[in-house]
C-alpha cells in the first residue's frame, strides 16, 4: 500500500477514535496504559484526553526528592497531593516517581554544618524522606520507583552519585527496606534507561540479585523506553523482557517516547547536552509520521506477544507539546508521542490500536 494511502487510512482511523477505541480499553486484560503528567495543572481538554486514554499516571517531576523536600524537614506536598487526588478521583492508578535519584536531589541530604555529612546522618535523612513520603501515600500510590538510574553508563557497575559516595552500595537496599517498612503493601521497583541493552541489562540483573541477597524487597523493574525513531532495539528489548521476567520481576515500561529528532546519545542522561538543528519546527513530515506509526506498532506487537510479562506501559508525556524532548539534549520541536500539540491523534495511535485488535 502506498505510504500516502496508509497514512490516510491510519489518520482516518485515529480521527474516528471514540471512547471505545481508547488505548486502555484496547489492551485491557493484557497490560495497563499510563502517562506521565507535569506539575502544572493541565487544561481541561488535556485532562479529558489523559483520563479517557490511560488507566494510570506518573508524576513527571513533583514527587522527586527536590520538589518534595527542598530543604530538610520542609515538605512541599501540594502538587503531589493534587495529582494523586486527581488520579484517584478519575479511577487512575498512581505510580510514585521517584524516592532516590542523583538528579533533582538537593545537596542538603549530604551536608552537615558546611561539611560532608556523616554516613549515619545521610542514612537517617534517606530513611526519613522515604518514610514520610511513602507513609503519606500508603494505599494510594501502590507502586514506587524506589531508586532511579543507579547503574553506571560507563565501565563501572554503579553510577558514582552522592548516595554511593556517602553510603556505598548499602544505600540501595536501605532505600527498599525503608519503603517497605513505610508501606508493606506497595510494590517496589528499580527504574533505569538502556537496561534493554546487553551490558546494562547484566548490571541490572546483578543489582536485583544483590538487593535480594541483602533481603531487600524488590518486586519489579522499570525499563524507561526513551528510544529513538529508526533505532529501536526490538530484539534487545525482547531479551530484557524475558530475562527480567525469568528473574521473577514484574516489568513496567515506565517512560516511553520515540525521539524523532536525531541526537547522538542514547538513554536519558539529562545532565548531558548537545548542539543540533531544529529540523521539524512546523510538524513531522508524512514519511516520518508513517515510520513512527509502523515502529510503535511493531513495539506494541512485541509488548502484546509478551503481555504476560508486562504490567504497564507508561508514556513519558501526554502530547508533543508537553514532552521533555522539546528541551533535551538541546531546544528543538519534537514529535515523540501519539497526540500532536493540538491534541490531534497521529497515525501511531491508529496503528497501535490496530495491533490490539489483531491480538484479540
Helix (H, G, I), strand (E, B) or coil at 206: helix
Nearest-Å Rg of the Cα atoms of the chain is 20
Residue 104 near ligand G3I by CB under 6 A: yes
Q: What minimum distance in Å lies between the beta carbon of 14 and ligand G3I? A: 25
Map the footprint of ligand G3I across residues 157-216, applying CB under 6 A: none
Q: What minimum distance in Å lies between the beta carbon of 134 and ligand G3I? A: 18
Helix (H, G, I), strand (E, B) or coil at 63: coil
Distances (CA, A) of 272 to 269, 275, 311, 323: 6, 11, 31, 17
Catalytic residue status for 149: yes
**What string marks each residue from 130 to 149 as x (binds ligand G3I by CB under 6 A) or -?**
------------------x-
Q: Considering the candidates 32, 60, 174, 255, report the single residue annotated as catalytic.
A: 255
**Can you tell me which of 27, 189, 303, 324 binds ligand G3I, judged by CB under 6 A?**
324
CA proximity to 172, closest of 101, 76, 274, 80: 101
The secondary structure of 293-323, three-state, reads: HHHHHHHHHHHHHCCCCEEEEEECCCCHHHC
Residue 69 near ligand G3I by CB under 6 A: no
Residue 334 near ligand G3I by CB under 6 A: no
Q: Which CB atom, from 148 or from 334, has the smaller least distance to ligand G3I?
A: 148
Q: Which CB atom, from 26 or from 80, has the smaller least distance to ligand G3I?
A: 80
Q: Which residues pair with 100 in a beta bridge?
A: 147
Q: Which CB atom, from 27 or from 193, has the smaller least distance to ligand G3I?
A: 193
Q: Which CB atom, from 290 or from 322, has the smaller least distance to ligand G3I?
A: 322
Residues 6+ apart with CB under 8 A from 302: 234, 237, 238, 241
Q: Considering the candidates 60, 149, 174, 290, report the single residue annotated as catalytic.
A: 149
Q: Which CB atom, from 130 or from 356, has the smaller least distance to ligand G3I?
A: 130
* Residues 340/343/348/351 CA torsion (nearest 10 deg): -160
Which single residue is written with the C-alpha cell 556523616?
Answer: 118
Q: Which residues pair with 192 in a beta bridge?
A: 223
Size of the site for ligand G3I (CB under 6 A): 10
**Can you tell me which of 60, 153, 187, 304 binds ligand G3I, judged by CB under 6 A?**
60
Q: Which CB atom, from 267 or from 359, has the smaller least distance to ligand G3I?
A: 267
**Are 30 and 304 a contacting pair, CB within 8 Å?**
yes
**What string marks each residue from 270 to 309 as x (binds ligand G3I by CB under 6 A) or -?**
x---------------------------------------
Q: What is the DSSP letter of 34?
A: E
DSSP run (H or E) holding 58: strand 56-59
- Residue 347, Cβ density class (10 Å: 0-12 exposed, 13-18 middle, ≥19 buried): buried
C-alpha cell at 206: 546483578
Q: What minimum distance in Å lies between the beta carbon of 112 and ligand G3I? A: 26
DSSP string, 67-130: HH-SBTTB---HHHHHHHHHHHHTT-EEEEEEEE-SSS--GGGGEETTEEPPHHHHHHHHHHHH
Q: Which CB atom, from 117 or from 141, has the smaller least distance to ligand G3I?
A: 141
Residue closest to ligand G3I, measured at CB:
324
**Can you tell me which of 11, 53, 61, 295 binds ligand G3I, judged by CB under 6 A?**
61
**Can you tell me which of 22, 224, 292, 295 binds ligand G3I, judged by CB under 6 A?**
224
Alpha helices in 183-265 (DSSP H): 198-213, 234-246
**Can you tell me which of 223, 229, 268, 354 binds ligand G3I, judged by CB under 6 A?**
268
Catalytic residue status for 274: no
Q: What minimum distance in Å lies between the beta carbon of 101 and ligand G3I? A: 7
Residue 58 near ligand G3I by CB under 6 A: no
Q: Where in the sequence numbering do the catalytic residues fall?
A: 149, 255
Residues near ligand G3I (CB under 6 A) are 60-61, 103-104, 148, 224, 255, 268, 270, 324
Amino acid at each position: 500500500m502506498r505510504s500516502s494511502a496508509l497514512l490516510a487510512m491510519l489518520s482516518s482511523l485515529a480521527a474516528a477514535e471514540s471512547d471505545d477505541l481508547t488505548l486502555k480499553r484496547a489492551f485491557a486484560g493484557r497490560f495497563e496504559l499510563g502517562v506521565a503528567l507535569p506539575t502544572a495543572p493541565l487544561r481541561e481538554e488535556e485532562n479529558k484526553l489523559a483520563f479517557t486514554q490511560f488507566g494510570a499516571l506518573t508524576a513527571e517531576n513533583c514527587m522527586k526528592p527536590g520538589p518534595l523536600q527542598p530543604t530538610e524537614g520542609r515538605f512541599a506536598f501540594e502538587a503531589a497531593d493534587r495529582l494523586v487526588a486527581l488520579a484517584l478521583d478519575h479511577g487512575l492508578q498512581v505510580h510514585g516517581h521517584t524516592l532516590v535519584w542523583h538528579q533533582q536531589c538537593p545537596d542538603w541530604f549530604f551536608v552537615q554544618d558546611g561539611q560532608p555529612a556523616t554516613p549515619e546522618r545521610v542514612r537517617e535523612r534517606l530513611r526519613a524522606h522515604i518514610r514520610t513520603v511513602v507513609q503519606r501515600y500508603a494505599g494510594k500510590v501502590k507502586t514506587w520507583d524506589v531508586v532511579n538510574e543507579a547503574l553506571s553508563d560507563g565501565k563501572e557497575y554503579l553510577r558514582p552519585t552522592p548516595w554511593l559516595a556517602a553510603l556505598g552500595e548499602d544505600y540501595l537496599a536501605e532505600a527498599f527496606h525503608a519503603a517497605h517498612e513505610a508501606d508493606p503493601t506497595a510494590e517496589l521497583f528499580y527504574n533505569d534507561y538502556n537496561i534493554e541493552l546487553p551490558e546494562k541489562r547484566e548490571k541490572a540483573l546483578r543489582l536485583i540479585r544483590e538487593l535480594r541477597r541483602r533481603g531487600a524487597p524488590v518486586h519489579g523493574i522499570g525499563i524507561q523506553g526513551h528510544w529513538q525513531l529508526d533505532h529501536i532495539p526490538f530484539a534487545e528489548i525482547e531479551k530484557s523482557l524475558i530475562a527480567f521476567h525469568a528473574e521473577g520481576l514484574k516489568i513496567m515500561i515506565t517512560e516511553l517516547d520515540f525521539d524523532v529528532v536525531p541526537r547522538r546519545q542514547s538513554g536519558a542522561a539529562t545532565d548531558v547536552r548537545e548542539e543540533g538543528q531544529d529540523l521539524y519546527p512546523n510538524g513531522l513530515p508524512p514519511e516520518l509520521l508513517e515510520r513512527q506509526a509502523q515502529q510503535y506498532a511493531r513495539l506494541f506487537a512485541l509488548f502484546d506477544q509478551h503481555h504476560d510479562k508486562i504490567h504497564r506501559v507508561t508514556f513519558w508525556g501526554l502530547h508533543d507539546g508537553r514532552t521533555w524532548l522539546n528541551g533535551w539534549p538541546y531546544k528543538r520541536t519534537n514529535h515523540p508521542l501519539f497526540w500532536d500539540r493540538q491534541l490531534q491523534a497521529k497515525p501511531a495511535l491508529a496503528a497501535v490500536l490496530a495491533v490490539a485488535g489483531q491480538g484479540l
